Amino acid sequence: MKIVAVTACPTGIAHTYMAAEQLEKTARKLGHTIKVETQGAMGIENKLTENEIKGAAVVILAVDIAIEEPERFDHIRKIKVPVQAAMKNPEAIFAQI
């Protein structure tokens, strides 16, 4: 399954990237394709393109803050979880898909 995700924590230097890594690792393990955009202290990195969002079945938002450009995800199914959830128990998030 094609999945896109966004991670963002308040400080944006550690948890954002750890959560992204966990999501990528778990997706690979479960046989999904995933692209994770990080919105850390450096701003948007690994930005999701319009086509990638359109082609994905679901977007995982592992965020503790309001994200930038949220309107991109207006027309796609969203799963919203705290950043901690993506770090500690990513399998549970994928179980919701």
Partner 1 sequence: MKALLQQHKQYLLTGVSYVIPFIACGGILIALALAYTFQCHYVDANGGPDPTQAPVFVQDMLKIGGKAFELFPAVLAGFIAYGMAGKPGLVPGFVGGFIAAMPQTINGKTASAGFLGAIIIGLIAGHVTNLLKKMPVPKIFKPVMPIIIIPILSALPVGLIMLTLNTPIATIMVDMGHVLESLQNGSQIVLALVLGAMIAFDMGGPINKAAFFFGAAMIEQKNYAIMGACAAAICTPPLGLGLATVLSRKRWTEEQRESGLAALGMGLIGITEGAIPFAAGDPFRVIPCIMFGSMVASTIAMLGHVGDHAPHGGPIVLPVVDGRIMYIIAIVAGAFTTAVAINSVKKFTEKSSSVEGVKA
Report, as residue numbers or ranges, the catalytic residues: 9
What's the CA gap between 88 and 39, in Å, rounded? 19
Query: Looking at beta carbons only, is 10 or 55 nearer to partner 1?
Result: 10
Query: Looking at beta carbons only, is 18 or 53 nearer to partner 1?
Result: 18
For 11, the 3-state DSSP assignment is coil
Q: Tell me phi and psi for residue 59, to 5 degrees.
A: -115, 130
Q: Is 84 in the site for partner 1 (CB under 8 A)?
A: yes
Q: Which of 2, 29, 33, 41 touches partner 1 by CB under 8 A?
A: 41
Query: Looking at beta carbons only, is 56 or 87 nearer to partner 1?
Result: 87
Q: Is 88 in the site for partner 1 (CB under 8 A)?
A: yes
DSSP 1: -
Both structure tokens of 53:
């969002």
